[in-house]
Structure 1
């Protein structure tokens, strides 16, 4: 009888159903996820960031401002970006921001979010989604708040309920998470690559790895335009991620947030923060 015990136990271990992890997990055994995001439909993103991503075999998310110049004169290139597996996401129709906040003297009266209504925000976001659908054929969409602003009427009325309704997730500008359970799908954190060096960026990545969270990099211009990320820094970051593929799952914001939604559901976590 005893001679059969070990084989039977081995067989049982092979045939027993796997038990789902009680903790948040990332695909392929990765310790953290990474999203590389780019705002404002800028020429340098097509000229530099996109080719660097392609060469590295990494996917990014481009938050497009629908009325930007490249949406008219380089539209075929954005279609190619989408066909290559990158995400085209919404960054609004005209990039309105609150003029009344400190340092916002550059915001024109026409694009002053303080003068918007929630209904106007909804209308412009729905129009932007329609335009993006005409480019890539996608319906599920993510969003990034222009200037990180989430309210109209001099800050008295939030439009967060609108973005929660229209988008799978929306990227904000807040600081890093201590755990994935803290994530607010409607206003996720971001890390501005243009204001940090490589050592600081790697430290951010490793902190996310230690905590098992998601690193969301924010970029505007890459090697040109404004709020510029140095192209060599961008390249070095991509190389670090490629050399650590087994540790970091790099994918589009949409794909990472879709997986995160699924994990929240599996674990019974509250998605409404």
Structure 2
């Protein structure tokens, strides 16, 4: 009886340890994503990531000059295992929503058809493949908008996209996760300590956190300082035995590999 109880206790300990190390054998996953194809991503972010051997996912607008005029640099980033990902051809957003005065009529998602947004996303995939040579890509919804004329346009693109990132600020669990609308935390003005605290919560809850950056050190109204970003990277590097830093596509594949993931 004593031996049986001892074995049961040890099995419980092993199970708890496995659960706590469920993100590629680590306590949590951290995905660093950067939107809108900004020059600062090439000039500041990628060198900072490379300096500590961490990886990022860059959601690129295929028509952005920071993409079209700097293709060799994006190709180099992809060769160094950073993810080049799809943020659409023109970044259309629904201009009817509050705070959308920046939306111009030509690229107002409210006037799009499903066919148009689908074609533009597929064209962006083709542009990305021409740069990184990869046939698999993920997508991030511009402004977090998921529908055209009331239709979830991603439904017709699941054969073209591995997964998609949304903007809902949630810690991502290993169970019951919709890989075509994975939540993320939009970053704007947080300090390094605040960013680190967010990671610590992911570690405590054995979950994944996806950061959504735009400007880093400027170039966008949604911005975080270079110092805060640097502090976050240093923390991730210092704690890499417990934190799985990975790209969005690899995290999505990891989720898809679990039976409870919504594919």
Determine if the TM-score, normalized by the shorter chain, exceeds 0.5.
Answer: yes
Structure 1: gaps (5+ residues): 1-17
Matched-pair contact (CA < 8 Å) for 1:30–1:248 = yes
Specify whether residues 152 and 195 from structure 1 end up closer, same or farther in structure 2 by C-alpha distance, changes over 3 A only.
farther
1:92 is aligned, of 73, 88, 94, to: 88
What does residue 66 of structure 1 align with?
Answer: 62
Is the 2:29–2:246 Cα contact (8 Å) retained in structure 1? yes
Structure 1 residue runs of 4 or more that deviate by more than 3 Å after TM superposition: 21-24
For 1:139, the equivalent position in structure 2 comes to: 135
- Whether the 8 Å CA contact 1:98–1:114 is kept in 2: the answer is yes
Q: 2:227 aligned with 1:232, yes or no?
A: yes
Conservation of the 8 A alpha-carbon contact between 1:118 and 1:157: yes
Partner Cα separation in structure 1 for residue 98 and residue 47 of structure 2: 36
Residue 178 of structure 1: how far off its partner (Å): 6.4
> Residues 130-209 of structure 1 correspond to what in structure 2 (within 5 A)?
130-153=126-149, 156-177=150-171, 179-209=173-203
Residue of structure 2 in register with 1:7 after alignment: none
How large is the RMSD of aligned CA atoms in angstroms? 1.9
> Is contact 1:53–1:238 with CA below 8 Å preserved after alignment?
yes
Q: In the TM superposition, what is the alpha-carbon distance from 1:258 to its structure 2 partner?
A: 1.1
Contiguous gaps of at least 5 residues in structure 2: 1-13
Change (3 A) 1:270 1:244: closer
* Bigger CA radius of gyration: 1
1:196 deviates by 2.2
TM superposition shift of 1:112: 0.1
Among 3, 13, 22, the residue aligned to 1:25: 22
Q: 1:252 aligned to 247, 250, 256, which one?
A: 247
CA distance in 1, matches of 2:241, 2:156: 37
- 8 Å contact from structure 2 (residues 192, 227) kept in 1: no
Query: Are the aligned partners of 1:163 and 1:186 in contact in 2 as well (CA < 8 Å)?
Result: no
Q: Which residue of 2 aligns with 1:38?
A: 34
Please report the TM-score for the alignment, with normalisation by the length of structure 1. Answer: 0.86
Q: Deviations over 1:151-190 (max 9, x none)?
A: 113xx22213134332111111012136321321011111
Query: What count of residue pairs does the alignment treat as equivalent?
Result: 247
Hey, what's the Cα distance between the residues in 1 that align with 2:183 and 2:153? Answer: 18
**Preserved contact between residue 177 and residue 261 of structure 2 (Cα < 8 Å):** no
* TM superposition shift of 1:200: 2.2
- Distance, in Å, in 1 between the alignment partners of 2:172 and 2:210 is 14
Decide whether the 8 Å contact of 1:163 with 1:170 is kept in 2.
no
- Select between 251-260 and 83-92 the one with higher mean Cα deviation: 251-260
Distance 1:53 1:249 in 2: 14
| Contact 1:65–1:91, Cα closer than 8 Å, also in 2 | yes
